[in-house]
Each structure stands twice: as C-alpha cells, then as structure tokens.
Amino acid sequence: MKIAFLLSSLLTAVLTAGRPAAPPVAAFGYPDGVAVDRAGNVYVVDTDNGAVQRVSPSGEVTSLPGPPLAYPTGVAVSPTGTVYVADAGSHSIVQVTPAGSVSTLVHSRSLVYPAAVAVDSAGNVYVADAGAAPNSGAVLRVSPRGALTTLAQGFNKPAGLAVSAQGVVYVADTDNNAVRQISPAGQVTPLATDLNHPRGLALEAAGTLLVADTYNNSIRRVSRTGQVSLLAEGFTYPAGVATDPTGAVYVTDTGTSSLRKISPTGQVTTLAGGTPPVGSPVPTAAGTEATRLKQ
C-alpha cells in the first residue's frame, strides 16, 4: 500500500513539474490546508493527488475514505471528529464522519472557488470563497443542514479562515496582504496588514492568531490587538497552519511538499513528506539562527 502510494505521488510530481513550488519527488502533491483532531491526527490536503491524508501521532500516513476529490484545498475538523473538506474543483464541501461515512454537505455554483474552511462548536462550517475576479471573494456560513448564508464579501482571493469561540471569523485576505476579522454582527475590520500573501490561519488557546505568511516564508503570530511577531521562518511557501492543545503548530510547506511541526519549545521538524531542495533555508523558530544549505 505504501509503495503504491509513493509511486502515485512520484507520478503526480512528474506530471505537475510546471508548478514552481513543487519539488520533483514528494510524498504529498502540493499540500495545502491542514487541521488537527483531538486525538492528535493531522489532516493534510493533498491537492494534486485529489485526497486528504491523515498523519497519525506515530507518523503513519493513510488516505481518508471516499472517492477522489476534484481539487481539494481546505480542511477542518469539528470537536466531534467530523472532517470537512473544501473541494474547489467540484464547488462543494465534503464531510467525512469519524465512522468513515462520506457525504456532500453542500454543492453549489455559488461556491466559485472554496479555498478554505473552518467549523465552530455548533457545527456551522465557514467557507472562504476566493471568487473569480479580484475583490470578489466572500465568506459564507453553511448550516449543519447545508443552508448557505453570505457573511461578508469584497475580499481579494481569501485563502484562510479561523473562527473563535466567541463567533469572530478571521479571514486571510490573501491578495490584499492582510488579515481581517468579521464580528458576530457582521462588521469587517482589519487585524493585521503588511503581510505578504497570507494564507492559512489557526487560533491558539490564548486567542492569538497564527498566520502562514506565505511569500515571506514564515509563520507569524498576531495578538488580539493586531501586534505581529515572528514564530518561525525558513519555510518554502507555507500554505496551511494548525495547532493542537499542547501548543504544537503544524505547517504544510508547499515548496518542499512536506508537513512540518513547530514544537512548543520552538523545535522545527518534518513529520511527513519531501526534503528541502538544495539552497533552501532550514525552518527555525524565532530567536534561533537558521542554518542554510550550500548553494
């Protein structure tokens, strides 16, 4: 099974060699969104392989059940363990129960390009729809029964979402290089600017926001008042970010086709996937010196 998976991944890497961020050989085919469940399983959107991979705490990689997805982009896990997947290629949100039952929560052409998902404790799913034209992106809420409601619009290719216990929705307004927040009343305000193509978002237990600052090849931490600090750097186009109850942070690093982990003490390791290409920086936590490979 593992041999077949690796061969499939190798074939995908060869066929998608035109994508600048992907290395020639990797275990993931353009890893995008990432999420963590309460048991410590990490879910990685394996976009080019049309799948979501589950990485167990012991490092075993298995595919989520169900038919191949058209072009998956985002993933979220509810407190009850249901996995939600944004499948941009089919304009759908797919759900997988802990028992392995797969169904479509919503399928609609009004979902032009669902790029990211988040879920709250009540089972409402939030979708960042990148839209087609610049500044046509929107954030929608999907009820547990599949009813769509638009919360806010006018974003520029939003590609990351997080929702707090208080109902505040955080949006990576990617092509506007900013993170914005939507209050429960629907008011949209900026939280952080001067980022460089931010994508994945995740909330820490203390309420601070983690941001994959993609074109700066780093992970940032944003306080509730909008103060931005560096958590770790040296990635190669990080896309997704997630955190677990221990404070560990998980990053999908698209440029190396890998899943990386930042420990609570700041150690950066690779959990699954490819290795850095020659000349790329080794990811390090803020405050430590980065060791760079020779050109």
pLDDT tens string 162-171: 999 999 999 9
Q: Quick one: 268 exposed, middle or buried, by C-beta within 10 A (0-12, 13-18, 19+)? A: buried
Please, are residues 29 and 273 in contact by the beta-carbon 8 Å criterion? no
Q: Quick one: 120 exposed, middle or buried, by C-beta within 10 A (0-12, 13-18, 19+)? A: middle
| pLDDT (mean) for 199-224 | 97
Residue 119 reports pLDDT greater than 60: yes
**What digits encode the pLDDT tens for the residues 21-47?**
333 334 699 999 999 999 999 999 999
Task: Give the least confident one: 8-12, 60-64, 181-185, 245-249.
Answer: 8-12
Beta-carbon-side half-sphere exposure of residue 54 (alpha carbons within 13 Å): 19
| pLDDT (mean) for 241-246 | 96
Task: Give the least confident one: 57-61, 190-194, 252-256, 285-289.
Answer: 285-289
- What is the predicted pLDDT for the residue at 59? 87
pTM of the predicted protein model: 0.86
**What digits encode the pLDDT tens for the residues 177-194?**
999 999 999 999 999 999
- What is the predicted pLDDT for the residue at 15? 33
Closest CA to 217 of 233, 200, 241, 195: 233
- What is the predicted pLDDT for the residue at 286? 67
